[in-house]
Amino acid sequence: MSKQLELYDVTIIGGGSAGLFTAFYSGMREMKTKVIEFLPFLGGKIPYFYPDKIIRDIGGIPQISGEKLTEQLDEQARTFDPTIILQEQVVGVEKLEDGNFILTSSNGAKHFTKTIILATGFGTLKSVKLELPEAADYEGKSLHYTIKKLDYYKGKHVLISGGGNSAVDWANELEPIADKVSLVYRKSTFPGIESNVTKMMNSSVEVYKPYNLVELKGKNGHVSSVMVQQVDNQQLTEIPIDNLIVNHGFHIDLGPITDWGMKMNDGTIHVDDSMSTSIPGIFAVGDIANYPNKLSLIAGGFNEGPIAVNHAKLHIAPNDELKTIFSTNYEPLVERE
The pTM assigned to this predicted structure is 0.73
Taking a C-beta distance cutoff of 8 angstroms, is the pair 98, 104 a contact? Answer: no
Taking a C-beta distance cutoff of 8 angstroms, is the pair 152, 51 a contact? Answer: no
Residue 85 and residue 21 in one domain: yes
2 has pLDDT over 50: no
**Per-residue model confidence (pLDDT) at position 34:** 98
Residue 265 vs residues 204, 270, 274: alpha-carbon distances, Å: 41, 6, 17
Find the CATH number of the domain harbouring 57. 3.50.50.60
For 306, phi then psi, to 5°, come to -60, -35
For 321, phi then psi, to 5°, come to -75, 130
From CA 143, how far away is CA 224, in angstroms rounded?
A: 11
**Per-residue model confidence (pLDDT) at position 1:** 47
Name the amino acid, one letter, at 241.
Answer: I
Residue 15 and residue 97 in one domain: yes
Residue numbers of the domain that contains 209: 129-248
- 281-316: pLDDT as tens digits: 999 999 999 999 998 889 999 999 999 999 999 999
Other CB atoms within a 10 A radius of the CB of residue 308 amount to 31
* Low-confidence winner among 119-133, 227-241, 291-305 (lowest mean pLDDT): 119-133
Q: Which of 248, 276, 295 is at the close of a domain?
A: 248
Q: Which of 248, 264, 282 is at the close of a domain?
A: 248
**Per-residue model confidence (pLDDT) at position 337:** 64
**Per-residue model confidence (pLDDT) at position 48:** 65
- 76-125: pLDDT as tens digits: 999 999 999 999 999 999 999 999 999 999 999 999 999 999 999 877 66
Which ranges of the chain does DSSP label H, i.e. alpha helix?
A: 17-28, 45-49, 66-77, 165-174, 194-201, 298-316, 331-334
Q: Give percent of the chain with pLDDT exceeding 70.
A: 97
Other CB atoms within a 10 A radius of the CB of residue 143 amount to 26
From CA 49, how far away is CA 107, in angstroms rounded?
A: 26
Phi and psi based region of residue 312 (left: phi greater than 0; alpha: psi -120 to 50; beta: remaining): alpha
What average pLDDT is seen over the chain?
91
For 109, phi then psi, to 5°, come to -65, 145
Number of independent structural domains in the chain: 2
